[in-house]
Amino acid sequence: MTKPLRIAVFASGSGSNFQALVDAAKAGKLDVTIGLLVCDKPAAAVVGRAQAAGVPVHTFRPKDYPSREAYEQELLERLREERIELVVLAGYMRIITSVLVEAYWGRMINIHPSLLPSFPGLHAVRQALDHGVKVTGVTVHYVDGGLDSGPIIAQRALAIAPDDTEASLEEKIHRIEHELYPDVVQGIAEGRIRFADNRVIIQPKDGIAQ
Ligand code: GAR
């Protein structure tokens, strides 16, 4: 690993998690270089956020390619050109194929707005509300090619209030995500969080168990 760690963020929409990573890096709380933003929706708000932050952008339209593997092959070449060491999925709403999973095995992470393995896929916050669960949360995990699946790195739980709506719960979840994701990426940058021998290894920060 180089210092600072070179990461790429993949996003499809608003990009508030991308922004949280940019802000944490600017504030000196995250020791990484965000070397690339990858976005499958050229008109998404996250593209403007990246331009404002001076982060190089790679956009593409999946329908311009014959297969998922074809655009991922192109992405892989770009990631290699940019010497990206960690891929950070932050609201990237596409299935990842073996092209990227194998190249970045143990070096690609995702954040998801539920306590996985509950409620993978789209509209996780709505799914939790519809099921009437009393507790939900946020999960960060390594990516294994399934839908929001792979070895879990960190989870934060959150009680659902009786008057929570999808919007209010989403806002609470975003607040947690914006702290948790930069923390996990920093753990990886420091080498405290690793994927080795097919398992997640976490060394406590400052000797304090988390
Ligand atoms: C986040 O809540 C993230 O957890 C979720 O998309 C949102 C993106 O928000 N990801 C998934 O649902 C992945 N299956 P953002 O664009 O404001 O960062």
Predicted pLDDT at 206:
72
156-193 residue pLDDT tens? 999 999 999 999 999 999 999 999 999 999 999 999 99
67-94 residue pLDDT tens? 999 999 999 999 999 999 999 999 999 9
182 in contact with ligand 1, CB cutoff 6 A: no
Which has the closest alpha carbon to 118: 130, 128, 129? 128
Biggest CA pair distance of the chain: 50
Confidence of residue 205 (pLDDT cuts 50, 70, 90): confident
Selected catalytic residue, list 58, 112, 141, 178: 112
Nearest ligand 1 atom to the CA of 14 is: 16
Show the tokens assigned to 92: 């990237």
Q: Is 123 a catalytic residue?
A: no
47 in contact with ligand 1, CB cutoff 6 A: no
For atom 6 of ligand 1, the residue with the nearest CA is: 91
Distance 3 CA to ligand 1 centre (A): 28
90 in contact with ligand 1, CB cutoff 6 A: yes
Q: What is the mean pLDDT of residues 44-64?
A: 98
Which element (helix H / strand E) includes 169? helix 166-189
- Whole-angstrom distance, CA of residue 163 vs CA of residue 84: 43
Task: Give the chain's domains with CATH numbers.
Answer: 5-202 (3.40.50.170)
Asked whether the predicted pLDDT for residue 33 surpasses 90, the reply is yes
Confidence of residue 208 (pLDDT cuts 50, 70, 90): low
Q: b/e map of 15-52 (b: 16 or more CB within 10 Å)?
A: bbbbbbbbebbeeeebebbbbbbbbbbeebbbbebbee
